Amino acid sequence: MAEAHQAVGFQFTVGTEGIDLHLSREVLKHIYLSGVTSWKKRVIRFKNGILTGVYPASPSSWLVVVVAIMSTMYARIDPSMGMIDSIKKTLPVSDYLTVHTKTLLSVILFATGLWLSIILILRHTLKLLLSYHGWMFEPHGRPSCTTWLWMGLVKLFSGRKPLLYSFQSSLPRLPVPSVRDTITRYLESVRPLLDDEQYYQMEIVANEFKKYPAPRLQRYLVLKSWWATNYVSDWWEEYIYLRSRSPIMVNSNFYVMDLLYVTPTHRQAARAGNAVHALLQYRRRLERGELAPLRAQATVPMCSYQMERMFNTTRVPGFETDFVQHLKDRKHLVVYHKGRFFRLWLYYGGRHLWPRELEAQFQKILDDPSEPQPGELKLAALTAGDRVPWAKARQQYFGQGVNRSSLEAIETAAFFLTLDDEAHGYDAEKLRSLDLYAKSLLHGKCYDRWFDKSFTLIAYQNGKLGLNAEHSWADAPIVGHMWEYVLATDCFQLGYTEDGHSNGEISKDLPAPIKLQWDIPSECQDIIESSYALAKEIADDVDFHGCLFDDFGKGLIKKCRTSPDAFIQLALQLAHFRDKGEFCLTYEASMTRIFKEGRTETVRSCTCESTAFVRAMQDPFTPKEKRLELFRCAAEKHQHMYRLAMTGSGIDRHLFCLYIVSKYLDIDSPFLKQVLSEPWRLSTSQTPQQQLSLVDLQRFPQYVSAGGGFGPVADDGYGVSYIIVGEDLITFHISSKFSSPETDSYRFGQNIRQAMLDIRALFTRENKMHKL
């Protein structure tokens, strides 16, 4: 009852002598502090909004321009060429406006217009500079004079101390490639996968498409590129993610792991307390726009649009399509533990809860002995199953009463936290510990993660952490950037006491976590069990293997004068051929965030050059020198394809959008049908390390992340995610399906390891590798 009394700011009783009003000073104090905090937040957002709106100029530069124009006027020099006099004549006649006042006001108006014009010119100039991509196609470390000059101009026009969204108005739009170029690149990409007859038939179909209806579809697509901010991103989100009716668990969601070798504390509540506090700090800086924008090569700004929906976001199920619900200023968190859901307020007295206070709140949940209500234990399985049954159940059973209010608490929460009742993490002494850790993060028990939330933070019994992220709102690098901040803040800023507790004080008046109430009828419980059965079947079929490759890493590969990504991709091609005895269509995700609202593009890693190299490696009679020559040729080709994808000249997003236009126009295209139905039997992605520098890893070599991964894309294929950590470690996350007789994740991991070593062996002493 204590929480109930604290939740009431005033009470009153009616007696014979009138109304007796009782005010709670403590509660009113907290209401006042919350209001002050809210207004502070609005003022800071308003200030940062102005700073972003006038960037690359600053508000103070307006005063400089006004003073400069006034100085010239006093010197009887008119820099406006008569415009100030024209403005003066248009001002209304009034007794309050003297000649001097009119002159002063005219100067201010002209100076303001000039200042705004300068800002627009600077932004347009920066946009033109950022539209140049020649720097990306030059040899690494050997930029031309043109590129040096271009980089200097970009830095000059980029201004000082930009905020997160300062560059949004200066980013160029994603260009639409020509149909001719896209089809040429497509035919080149499938050539190594088709025999002569198949390729000849594909050429005929592609050329027919190029004549008709491609020109008509292209015109509509170009028109959209002029009108929309990005001609791909909205359709990509809708048709690839939100319109899919299959389960998002495993098929769409992805996971991110904790530090590989270090666990700062083994106290579950303490680790969760620090992590949640770090997330709140990140959210505050994100909402204020105070994070520094990410830049490619420390110079070229990248789009920050995806970061807007990181918090307070939920994917809401629908019958034909889902939608992403994003809110602002959510002040609570929902916690799941042993089948119970709890609402936890994140603010007290107008401030975030301190880590020690969060730890105490989580400990109360861990110590709560109550049992789940009927249907509550596996309720979250609804988010793991097919989307239509979930949409029907949500409409029928969660539209009113306690079910509605409890579901709203979950969907409007800042994010979702699971206090897991298991212990996971990498342990070199335990067999398959990394594999089980990955499976737990990806799907858990199928009912202990809310897969619709933008992300679920998972805290294990032994103090390990992890994330499960929904994919529609953003891509993995966005989540990775936030996660690196959380881990660094947790370990190097917040810290722990000697006995493993979070630091800070605890307020005695904190309201206890509130257990959510449910009234779930038996019919809805049947739907929950059905969703759980489907989700468990999917989860049990996932074959995972985590491979820590520490024989060498980025440092040695760079000494080979080769791109680390190209090196790994060729190793994957070699490993896959050894694993299956054939080549396959290969997907590698690249980013297009150097364009406004850019997301990803596909790099088709299986090329004629890579297959020639693999065949040479499998041929015992091919000399090592020839293999090395083919390797360099294939690596250069891969790099060229990657650069084309990053600069908007990829293949698959263009063809995807042409296919969508054809559907809107009700045009049947055999070529587009075939392209969009081709399975990706090897789907790969690199997790970038964006904030932890080499210096940090040299000082703290144990503080490395294992990256993250995703489920298999094809029933008979592999999903491979990898992260290049520091100079000497590469971690592979390999997924496949037990139900496929063609795949085995552990076997593929061993093939990858051997392929990496075999490629390294090409660089002999004669090739100056003796220094390594």
Which spans in 54-77 are helix H?
Answer: 59-74
Residue 516, CA distances (Å) to 4, 117, 396, 410, 521 in order: 15, 55, 19, 9, 16
Q: What is the DSSP letter of 367?
A: H
Which spans in 325-475 are helix H?
Answer: 355-367, 387-397, 401-411, 433-442
Say if residues 723 and 256 touch (Cβ distance below 8 Å): no
Residue type, 232: V
SS3 559: helix
Say if residues 534 and 388 touch (Cβ distance below 8 Å): no
So which residues are the catalytic ones? Answer: 471
* CA 482, 485, 487, 493 torsion-angle sign: negative
Q: Are strands 332-337 and 416-419 parallel, antiparallel or unpaired?
A: parallel
Q: Which two tokens stand for residue 419?
A: 């206090």
- Alpha carbons 259 and 239: distance in angstroms, whole number: 35
- Alpha carbons 126 and 171: distance in angstroms, whole number: 8
Nearest C-alpha neighbor of 727 from the set 492, 549, 478, 591:
549
- Alpha carbons 536 and 517: distance in angstroms, whole number: 26
How are the residues of the chain apportioned to helix, strand and coil, as percentages rounded to the nearest 5?
Answer: 50, 15, 35
Residue 599, CA distances (Å) to 164, 231, 233, 251, 476 in order: 17, 11, 7, 19, 10
Residue type, 394: R
**Cis amide prior to 56 (ω within 30 degrees):** yes
- Alpha carbons 759 and 753: distance in angstroms, whole number: 10
Say if residues 438 and 544 touch (Cβ distance below 8 Å): yes
- Alpha carbons 564 and 518: distance in angstroms, whole number: 52
Partnered with residue 468 across adjacent β-strands are: 255, 456
CA 668 to mean position of chain CA atoms: 35
Nearest C-alpha neighbor of 591 from the set 681, 680, 685:
685
Q: Are strands 718-725 and 514-515 parallel, antiparallel or unpaired?
A: unpaired
- Alpha carbons 78 and 100: distance in angstroms, whole number: 16
- Alpha carbons 48 and 171: distance in angstroms, whole number: 19
Structural element, H or E, at residue 465: strand 465-469
Say if residues 459 and 264 touch (Cβ distance below 8 Å): no
Say if residues 532 and 384 touch (Cβ distance below 8 Å): yes
Instruction: List phi, psi (to 5°) of 457.
Output: -85, 130
What is the DSSP secondary-structure string of 620-669? TTS-HHHHHHHHHHHHHHHHHHHHHHHTT--SHHHHHHHHHHHHHTT---
CB atoms within 10 A of CB 622: 14
Residue type, 455: F
Nearest C-alpha neighbor of 268 from the set 335, 326, 324:
335
Structural element, H or E, at residue 482: helix 476-489
Instruction: List phi, psi (to 5°) of 548.
Output: -95, 105
**Length of the chain counted residue by residue:** 772
- Alpha carbons 631 and 568: distance in angstroms, whole number: 12
Partnered with residue 21 across adjacent β-strands are: 12
